[in-house]
Chain A
Amino acid sequence: MEHMGIEPGRLQFSWVSSAESTKFVKVVNEVSETIKKLGPNDRFVKKEIKVA
C-alpha cells in the first residue's frame, strides 16, 4: 500500500493477545497519534462528480 502512495504510518499492523490489555491501549494510542499527525485521509475517497 505504501508502494502505491499511501502515507507511511497510515496502515499499521500489530499482534495483541486478548490478555494483553495494556499493550492494546498502548497500540491504540500510538496509532491514533500517528494518524492524527497525518491528518484526514484524502486518498481512496471518491470525490463527488462535478456537474456543470
Chain B
Amino acid sequence: MLAYTDRIKEIARALLTDCRVELVIGFRKGTVPMMNEPCFINSPDEADQLVWDSNCGINLANYLANRTEKIGIVAKGCDSRNIATHIIENKIGRDQLFIIGVPCQGMIDRRKVNAMFDGEVREVVESDGLVTVRGADFEKSFEKSELLQQNCSVCTHRNPVIFDEMAADPVDEQQGVDRYADVREIEAMDPQQRWDAFEKLLAPCIRCYACRNACPLCYCPTCFVDEARPQWVGKSQNPVDVRTFHFLRAYHCAGRCTDCGACERACPVGINMRVFTKKLEKDCFESFGWEAGLSPDVRPPLDTYRPEDPDDFIK
C-alpha cells in the first residue's frame, strides 16, 4: 500500500509540474479511521497529501461530470468503469483525463469493523494483507479478506479497465466468485415475502439522498425526487415514497451501475440499497451479457437494439 501511495504521489507531482493536468483528484487521509476523503490537488507541492490504502471506497468518478479542465484522476477498478460510463455518456472527454490506474484489492467495510468492538476504533493500520484495529483498550489483527465490503468480496474487475499509467502491477482477478447469491436469495421468495423484505430494508431510510449524491451515475442537474413541477414522487417519509425513490433510482442506474458500493458506504443508517441495483445488474448480465463500463467504445444495452434482444415479457 505504501508503494502505491508513493507511486501515486510521484505521478501526480510529475503531471502537475509539467502542467499536463490542472487538477489531480485522489484521496487523502480522513479525520477518522477508515474514512479517507477525496481531495483535489492543484499544485505539485500538495501532492504529498495523497494516500492509498483500503479505505478509499468512495468512487472518484463522481467528481468528473461536466468538468472542463484537464484532470488527473486516481482510479481503482470500479472507478475506471464509471469513468468509461461517463465517457460513453459524454460527461467528460477521454482526452481531458489522465487516469492513474490502481489495481485494487478490496476496501474495508468500516461498519463491520466498528460493529466488532464496543469502544471507539481509533486506528486501523495495514501491512501485508493484515489489518490491525486499535482502540483505547483493545487491539486485534485480521486477515484483510475478513473485513472486505461485500461488493469487493465478489468483485471480478479489480484492475482498471482504462488507464494512462498504472500505480502498480495488475493484481489477479478473483476467480469463481458467486456474484449474485444475495439476489438469488430474494428471487427465491414469494411476492409477499419480497415485499416485506424490502419494507424492512428501507424502514430506517431517512431520505437524506447520500446514496444518490455518492453515486457517479446520479449527475442529473435536477433529480426526479427534487422536482416539484411535476412532482413525480412524494417528499415524505411514507414507505411508499421511500420505496419509489429507491426503485426508480435503481432503474436510472440500470446497465450503468458497476456495483462500486459507494452508495451503500455513504448511507448514514447502513442500508444496503445495492440489492436494487444489483438485481438490474444481474438482469443486464443475463439478458444482454452486459457488464457496465468495461470499455468506453461499446454502447450500453439500453441505447442499442439487437434483433436477438429478449422480448418474451411483451404479449
Residue of A nearest to B236 (CB): A46
Q: For the complex, is B222 an interface residue (Cβ under 8 Å from A)?
A: no
A13 in contact with B313 (CB, 8 Å): yes
Q: What are the residues of chain B within 8 A of A12 when measuring CB–CB?
A: 315
CB distance from A26 to the nearest CB of B (A): 9
Q: What are the residues of chain B within 8 A of A44 when measuring CB–CB?
A: 240, 243-244
Count of chain A residues with Cβ under 8 Å from any Cβ of B?
18
The residue that B191 contacts in the complex, of A5, A13, A15, with Cβ under 8 A, is A5
The docked-state distance in angstroms from the alpha carbon of A14 to that of B313 is 8
Q: For the complex, is B247 an interface residue (Cβ under 8 Å from A)?
A: yes
State whether A5 and B194 are in contact (beta carbons under 8 Å apart), knowing that A44-B240, A45-B240, A46-B238 are contacts in the complex: yes
Q: For the complex, is A50 an interface residue (Cβ under 8 Å from B)?
A: no
The docked-state distance in angstroms from the alpha carbon of A43 to that of B234 is 15
Chain B contact surface mostly: helix
State whether A5 and B314 are in contact (beta carbons under 8 Å apart), knowing that A44-B240, A45-B240, A46-B238 are contacts in the complex: no
Interface string of A1-13 (1 = CB under 8 A from B): 1111111100011
The docked-state distance in angstroms from the alpha carbon of A33 to that of B197 is 29
Q: For the complex, is A35 an interface residue (Cβ under 8 Å from B)?
A: no
B191 in contact with A14 (CB, 8 Å): no
Interface string of A39-51 (1 = CB under 8 A from B): 0000111100000
Q: Which residues of A contact B (CB under 8 A)?
A: 1-8, 12-15, 27, 30, 43-46
Q: Which residues of B contact A (CB under 8 A)?
A: 186-187, 191-198, 234, 238, 240-241, 243-244, 247, 276, 279, 313-315
